[in-house]
Amino acid sequence: MNMLNTNRYFICFCLLISFFFITGFDTRVDYPRSKTVDVFDIYHGQVVTDPYRWLEDLDSSETQSWVKSQNQFTDQYLTNLPEIEAIKTILDKALNQETQSVPFREQSKYFYYYNNGDWQQSKLYYKEDNQGSEKLVLDPNQFSEDGTVALSGVSVSSDAKLLAYAISDGGSDWKTWKIRNLESGLDLEDKILWSKFSGAEWLKDNSGFYYSAYSEPQAGAELQDINTNQKLYLHKIGEKQSSDLLIYARPDEPDWGWGPTVSEDGNYLILHVSQGTDERNRIFYQNLNHSSDSFIELIPELKAQFHFVGNEGSVFWFFTDLNAPMGRLIAIDISNPKEENWEEIIPERNHALREVHITSGYFLCHYLKDISSEVVLYQTTGEKIEKLDFPKNGTISSISAKPESSQLFFSFSNYIRPSEIFEYDLSVKQLKSIWSQSVPGFNADEFTSKQVFYKSKDGTLIPMFISHLNGIELNNDNPLLLYGYGGFDIPILPNFSTKYFSWMKMGGIVAVANLRGGGEYGEKWHRQGMLHNKQNVFDDFAAAAEYLHQEGYTQPSKTVIEGRSNGGLLVGASLLQRPELFGATLPGVGVMDMLRFNKFTIGWAWESDYGSPEIEDDFKVLIKYSPYHNIKPKKCYPPTLITTSERDDRVVPSHSYKFAARMQAAQSCQNPILIRIESRAGHGAGTPKDKVISYISDMYGFALNTLTSN
Residues catalogued as catalytic:
565, 683
Which amino acid is it at 75? D
Provide the 10 A C-beta neighbour count for residue 569.
32
Burial of 27 (0-12, 13-18, 19+ CB in 10 A): middle
Residue 404, strand partner residues: none
Separation between Cα atoms, residue 557 and residue 555, nearest integer Å: 6
Measured from the Cβ of residue 283, the count of other Cβ atoms closer than 10 Å reads 21
Cα distances (Å, whole numbers) of residue 147 to 4, 93, 139, 177, 265: 43, 19, 11, 18, 39
- Cβ contacts of 391 within 8 Å, gap of 6 or more: none
Residue 116 contacts residue 97 (beta carbons within 8 Å): no
CA proximity to 661, closest of 102, 7, 51 = 51
Which residues neighbour 105 within 8 Å (Cβ) at sequence distance 6 or greater?
111, 130, 400, 402, 405, 407
User: What's the one-letter identity of residue 407?
Assistant: Q
Asked if 363 contacts 356 with a C-beta cutoff of 8 angstroms, the reply is yes
**Are 236 and 207 a contacting pair, CB within 8 Å?**
yes
Pair 462, 456: CB distance under 8 Å? yes
Q: The sheet that has 430-436: what strands, in order across it?
A: 395-401, 407-414, 417-425, 430-436
- Count of CB atoms within 10 A of residue 276's CB? 17
Q: Which residues of 107-146 are buried (b: 16+ CB within 10 A; e: fewer)?
A: eebbbbbbbeeebbbbbbbbbeebeeeeeebbebbebbee
H/E stretch holding 316:
strand 315-320
Are 405 and 394 in contact by the 8 Å Cβ rule? The answer is no
Cβ neighbour number for residue 82 with a 10 Å cutoff:
10
* Nearest residue to 373 (alpha-carbon basis) of 355, 401, 396, 391: 396
Angstrom CA distances, 438 to 94, 455, 503, 710, stand at: 8, 37, 18, 35
CB 326 within 8 A of CB 489: no
Closest by alpha carbon to 623, among 599, 594, 602, 600? 594
Quote the Cα angle for 517-521-526, to 5°. 25
Query: Edge to edge, what strands does the sheet with 673-678 contain?
Result: 447-455, 461-469, 509-513, 480-483, 559-564, 584-588, 640-645, 673-678
Task: Give me the half-sphere count of Cα atoms (radius 13 Å) on the Cβ side of residue 187.
Answer: 12
Q: What are phi and psi of 444, to 5 degrees?
A: -55, -30
Pairing mode of beta strands 461-469, 509-513: antiparallel
Asked if 215 contacts 194 with a C-beta cutoff of 8 angstroms, the reply is yes
* Cross-strand bridge partners of residue 673: 640
Backbone angles phi, psi at 130, to 5 degrees: 60, 25
Residues 373 and 366 sit within 8 Å (Cβ to Cβ): yes
